[in-house]
Structure 1
Amino acid sequence: DMRWDESFVTENLLASSNPDLVAVAREMVAGREGVGRVSFEDGDRFIAYAPVKSVNWSVGVVIPVDEVIAPALATRESILDASADTAIHITRQQETMRTIFIGAFVILLAAVIVLTLIFSGFLTRPLEELKRGSEAIGQGDLDYAVEVHTGDEFEDLGRSFNRMAADLKEHIRTLRITTAERERIQKELEIARGIQQSFLPDAAPRIPGMDLEGANLPAAEVGGDFYDFIPVGEASWGLVIADVSGKGVPAALFMALSRTLIRASATRNPDPVTSIREANRSICLDASTSMFVTLFYAILDSRKKTLTFVNAGHNPPLLLGSGSERVTLLKARGIALGVIDEVDLESVEVQLSPGDVLVLYTDGVTEATDDQDQEYGLDRLSALVSASRDLPATGIIDAIVRDVTAFAGTRPQFDDITLMVLKVK
């Protein structure tokens, strides 16, 4: 430490016992610049040093630390004094700001509450209106229309709600019409089934030397199938199986008309051609529609064991001879009844033998379809009759019905299944 106006002496600083001074000296010898703090017995000093490159020297300036920080200490005292005054002022300002903030918060809170009430009403009014609409529709008032005019999604929702109510009203109207129509159809089917069943025989006659049975299974839509056993002589019976075109009540009524006229004519005329031609003229006279009826009519003479028949456009019956596996179709020339006034019918007579099986049927048997639209068919029916020949007439009918039903599966059938089986004992 030297003053500019005092003398100085040289000294090897690197050999000094003061480690702080040695460290500064090394920095100076290395040609670096910087500031170091060195502790001496009379106090700490700052040594600022920098190289003089032109002469390869290093110059250091020593300044007591107290002289350096004295102004800072004085400034610190001034700052502390000023800080105390400022703290008081700040505290007052904080109190003022707190008061202002609390007031502003209260005002803002009040504004928020008011706005919340306003907007909550804006939001809840449409919802309340939609709720009232839902309650009205739930009570059956499908003419109720919600009134929402907010110009936003609520209004769109209101319009959708009104459209939904209108669609629901139309759906219910359509459903009522459909239900009424279904009930009407169901009622008609019940009436048609009642008419049909009332005109069918309660039981087959007990004929000596013969085993005779008949059956009718109405389809989903009642058709006009019927069969009949008509006493036409002391040992003779008229066997009838017929199929009226059409479905429902009209077919049932036409079936009742046809059955009545055929029965009346058959009891007056022992000849099958004469009786059926007379019945046809009556049917054409009374029929006011384009309906017709196919028919197979045969007179069974139980004493002679003969069958004399005509076929008016009906499915030819199957005759399985005793001791034979071959099935014969009983065909005869003729057209359906109710088409023209005068029909040309062919009469055919066959001789029956013990063990013969005769099967009369309608197209509900052979035209029954399965899920693949395959028909039951005449071949399948012939094979089943041949396999069931040892059964009684009732057993043969049951076997045919079971086989046709199993063949059709879940497929709905729209034609009646009508059968008549005669076994010669």
Structure 2
Amino acid sequence: MTTHTRDVEVGIVGAGPAGLMLSYLLHLQGVEAVVLEKHSRHHVEQRVRAGVCGQPTVDLLRDIGLGARLELEGLPHHGFSLRFDRRDHRVPLTELTGKRITVYGQQEIAKDLIRAHAEKNLPIEFEVSDVALHDLDTERPCVTYVDATGNAVRLRCAAVAGCDGFDGVSRHSLPSGVLTVYEHEFPYAWLGVLAHTPPSHGELIYAAHERGFALHSMRSPELTRLYLQIDLGDRLEHWPDERVWEELQRRLDTVDGFRLREGPLLDKSITSMFCFVAEPMCHGRLFLAGDAAHIVPPTGPKGMNLAVADVRRLAYALHRLLRRCDPEPARTYSESCLRRVWCAQQFSCQMTAMLHRDPDADDFARRLALAQLRHTVSSRPAAASFAEDYVGLPFE
């Protein structure tokens, strides 16, 4: 098979929001990039992922001219409820911080970015295979792959960005011993369902219940997203629709008779709960971003917002490196990102522990978690600190 060689300044592996956002930010700074994605465009635009955008992410989308559909279709929230003792305790985000969150699905951001790429003829190659990274320790790293038509391609780059998620090839292309990995697994999982029914509440509800955690969220005025804490090793066949609704109703019940609107379940999935950080987030001319470098528990919500923070910083660093011959922002990229990553880990883990029933914890630990919940909603300084972390710390 003949290999076609192409030159590009930045090769980006992965067309999730991180890779697409990086490509677009580089374009705005005059840096050429090519995005490679193993899945089809349809798959990328339809896969359901995180749905809460922090204030810094929303501001960035607006600043680069991609906030129009988010403004029209996104669901702004000025607070959310911590539900325990069968009562709601509202955290007024905007009142406490002057900021808000916006419910707008990750796949919707991907659609907006893909459309923007198409309008400006920025290259995204979908359905590529056999992606491999080479010569990462040199100033001309390469990405080889087979394109959608079966042609072998060698992409010669000045830098490579690994935005291909936890299981992608980028991080696994690094030599053994380069990375230090920090991991923690929680002793439970999440069952997530998408219901074709209007949300039962105007804001998100995080419920701490003696039977386990539950979350009421939404994707649109017609679609509700709900989660249940379940046992490790539990399987989807153990959760018929009737059992899902019964358990959700029980955990989200209140003394004033709150009832969920029920409807057909369009999707069910199980998500493991774990934390992961790989340090450093770069090696040679390979830079990792988003889930390729770190995973946070979804309770936060921080995953997609952290990825956006990564690539915002990376776009600046690569522009300085390739256009101004200034290597300093690229040299400090990992250290700068990791400060934010560990702050997000701390908040997400604290929130997770506070709301979930740990099967390995004793009654003393459970009483501590309940005390923390009560302090968070009864102390304005505590609530303000919690709200500031939740809406997202400002970008530097």
Larger Rg: 1
Greater relative contact order structure (CA < 8 Å, 6+ sep): 2
Report the structure, 1 or 2, having the larger helix content. 1
Q: Please classify the TM superposition score into its range, dividing by the shorter chain length.
A: under 0.3
TM-score of the superposed pair, with normalisation by structure 1? 0.20
TM-score of the superposed pair, with normalisation by structure 2? 0.21
Report the structure, 1 or 2, having the larger strand content. 2
